[in-house]
Chains A and B, each alone.
Chain A
Amino acid sequence: MNADQHERLAEQLRDAFEHQQALRIRGGGSKAFCGRAVQGVALDVRGHCGIVEYQPTELVITARAGTPLLDVQAALAEAGQMLPFEPPQFSPDATLGGVIACGLSGPRRPFTGAARDVVLGVGMVNGRGEVLRFGGQVMKNVAGYDISRLMTGAQGTLGLLLDVSLKVLPTPVCERSLRADMDVADAIVAMNRLAGRPLPLSATAFDGEVLWLRLSGAEPAVAEAMEALCGEIFVEVEELTGQQFWRDLRERQHRFFSGDDELWRLSLPAASPALDLPGRTFYDWGGAQRWLKTNAEAGAVHVAINKVGGHATRFTSDGAVAQPLSPALAALHQRLKQAFDPVGILNPGRLYEGL
């Protein structure tokens, strides 16, 4: 599928601007739960789709926001390349625009960067219905403010994404997983010590009992690292088991995520010791992203996370609730929102009340 509907989308936004009509931007609907619920007229971007440009030797792909993530990944795979940030899909319907708007990254994130790290440029429509382009299709570009990265993770509240240009990387030739039984304190230290060594790591996680590592890269590099680590306390994991573990973690389908307790995402300095909270914790990103299943009060979680200088997101039946911003930062966010969306038509309330 390849269709350029940017004029129609811009027209719809101009209309909404004139009538102060709130819009609820949607792609595949796979990530609706990643923000707060939005009241507004649904605006579907899936009709605006297709890969616009892709030359593997440039390491850049440009695709329209409505392009299914799977299509982008298939095109890259054909040329032996990948999206470095290992985005979660959550459903085959996921679109590229949704992935970038939500700014989600998978287990590879601490080693090859987040969604925002690979965003080189965007085409977008702001809340006035104006079509704008920032950044471009080149690796380095410091002309003007970095509005393309600002759009990443803004969940459509500052602009509707039309297309994005992303830096891509060669897919590692070789990928192997290792495991070792450990207690939590040792696991946190081990993950961070390992990340401080020049090893071809591409993921480290701790499920509460077992520390998991993934090595990716050229054959000799991975072989050398395997040898060093297996001499220590690690054992190799069977290939399919390893792949499934990382996929389940990325897609939040690991059995850890089941059960009735509330799910929280904690983001904090990787080496922070285990937080003193009831429930179960799963450690990804070397400990910098932790999943918490708990029946603790929200207040208790915030006290614990504030102590280590992190932030917490709570997944409720009404969507994800992010950590409140300080009053000064909240005011700055409001002014930025105003700058892009003066009458508040773009996914109002999706990120925070009033944003």
Chain B
Amino acid sequence: MTAASPQAALAQRFRAFLPDSSILVTETERRPYECDGLSVYRRLPLLVVLPEDINQVQRVLRICAELAVPVVARGAGTGLSGGALPLTDGVLLSLAKFNRILDIDPLNRTARVQPGVRNLAISEAVAEHGLYYAPDPSSQIACSIGGNVAENAGGVHCLKYGLTVHNIVQLGIVTMDGEQFTVGGTGLDAPGYDLLALMTGSEGLLGVIVEVVVKLLPVPDTAQVLLAAFDDVVPAGDAVGRIIGAGIIPAGLEMMDNPAIRAAEAFAHAGYPEDAAAILLCELDGSRAEVETDVMRVRKLLAQCGAREVRIARDADERALFWKGRKAAFPAMGRISPDYYCMDGTIPRHRLPEVLSGIETLSRDYGLPVANVFHAGDGNLHPLILFDANRPGELQRTEEMGGKILELCVAVGGSITGEHGVGMEKINQMCSQFSAAELTQMHAVKAAFDPAGLLNPGKAVPTLHRCAEFGAMHVHDGQLPFPELERF
């Protein structure tokens, strides 16, 4: 059989219910789908399909199940862990045409949307009702709500307003056998197991999300942002604990270290103090009187913790400017380095000093600079490793160092990923976070939805063999895991 024939046979089957324009066959057409936001991994899919209704999704999946062809779902392709990386012998199922907001219910404060709707488009559409959709990943102008659900995306406001899992109420899903389910409810809960939570963050391995009902919140009366500069990162980290310890839950609490400050400033001209070792951005929202009181309390705490300067945004423009630097931190790295690699570990907040010094040591050992951006309120660290992929071996060293950073996060009681997902990228580090029995349990969950293992195979949960090869053994209760497997 020639390589082209399975492709032609599949395309033929799909033509029975999809127009030609929704089946991408030529290499030129398929090329844009070879990677997601983590472009160091690329693979050309066998075929790309762009269904536009649920029935078409069901038929695509049924045919693929019948022919044992693997399927990878894709939203906007902004994922940063290779979750939407296609398979060369598989179908890439794009949800891009599912781009309609189906219903807005202002009294119940929910919106029913298709999975390909952009995150920001929801808040824009409901703004006239004084409502918004809270999770706001930095990629919100581009990323899809389906992708947000699949990754359990967060944003700068999730300390106070929660992650995707806290802000959706119902999902329509189609499993690999083409069966359609509704999980969750339009009330506040559903009978049976919490499949809504299980689906959220499942990285496209359990089912294709074909509809989402999101929860909407009232837009706060007012918001204010403080910017504090520190000569040392340790007191900046302490200040975070002090603010929270004082009973204040900021709407956003972000930290940047000196390399991140300098890069962001050069790019966005936000007025950041370029000689500071760290800055903290603290957003407070609520009623006018409450925000005024809290701003004063936070300013005092910051000063007590040794901030050398605390600025309060004078108006909405300056507030936007303070945030602009932070939100531009990733693209800013692109300006100062040919490539950068974004990590996504979480740690218990009080371990920040030792983790930062651990990262500094790794940075020196590997000779690769690192800038740190930190969702400080919820302990989610984004070290950005700067490298040049054109230098032989540098990408490999970067990945190795990134893996070490994640293992460090696990060692202090954290996690290898806070919001970007495991995908392809962190599959090996899963072996250091979980034991063989835990991974086996996850595979059993997968099998309950997709016994043949055709949906996004090879992502998110490593096989035990892979872990044995990788050699990062999670020592559990003093025992070496995977004793049943040969060592390589």
Binding site for B on A (CB under 8 A): 55-60, 80, 103, 109-110, 113-114, 116-117, 126, 130-134, 136-147, 149-150, 152-154, 158, 169-171, 173, 189, 192-193, 195-200, 217-221, 223-225, 267-271, 285, 288-289, 309-311, 313, 322-323, 325, 328-329, 332-333, 335-336, 338-340, 351-352, 355
Contacts and interface: CB of A to CB of B under 8 A. Distances in A.
B421 A142 contact: yes
B181 interface: yes
Nearest to A189: B107
B219 to A, nearest CB: 7
Given A141-B417, A141-B418, A339-B447, A196 B218 contact: yes
Nearest to A149: B197
Contact of A59 (B166, B190, B244, B421): B244
Contacts of B426: 143
B196 to A, nearest CB: 9
Contacts, number: 268
Nearest to B177: A328
Contact of B417 (A143, A170, A351): A143
Interface stretch (B49-57, B357-365, B388-396, B432-440): B432-440
**Most chain B beta carbons < 10 A, residue from A80, A136, A139, A218:** A139
Contact of B186 (A140, A310, A339): A310
B219 A198 contact: yes
B245 A57 contact: yes
Contacts of B422: 142-144
Nearest to B422: A143
Given A114-B188, A192-B108, A269-B105, 13 more contacts: A103-B189, A138-B418, A139-B346, A142-B418, A145-B461, A146-B202, A150-B195, A196-B218, A223-B289, A269-B187, A270-B187, A289-B187, A333-B192
Contact of A113 (B166, B377, B437, B441): B166
A191 B296 CA distance: 33
Given A270-B108, A329-B181, A335-B448, A142 B218 contact: no
Contacts of A332: 175, 181, 195, 448-449
B106 interface: yes
Interface string B84-107: 000000000000000000000111
A136 to B, nearest CB: 6
B269 interface: no
Contacts of A158: 193
Contact of A322 (B192, B419, B445): B192
23 contacts: A57-B242, A57-B244, A57-B245, A57-B349, A116-B197, A138-B346, A141-B346, A141-B417, A144-B442, A146-B200, A149-B165, A149-B197, A150-B193, A150-B195, A152-B194, A154-B193, A173-B247, A217-B286, A269-B108, A271-B107, A325-B192, A340-B441, A351-B193
Contact of B106 (A169, A196, A221, A223): A196
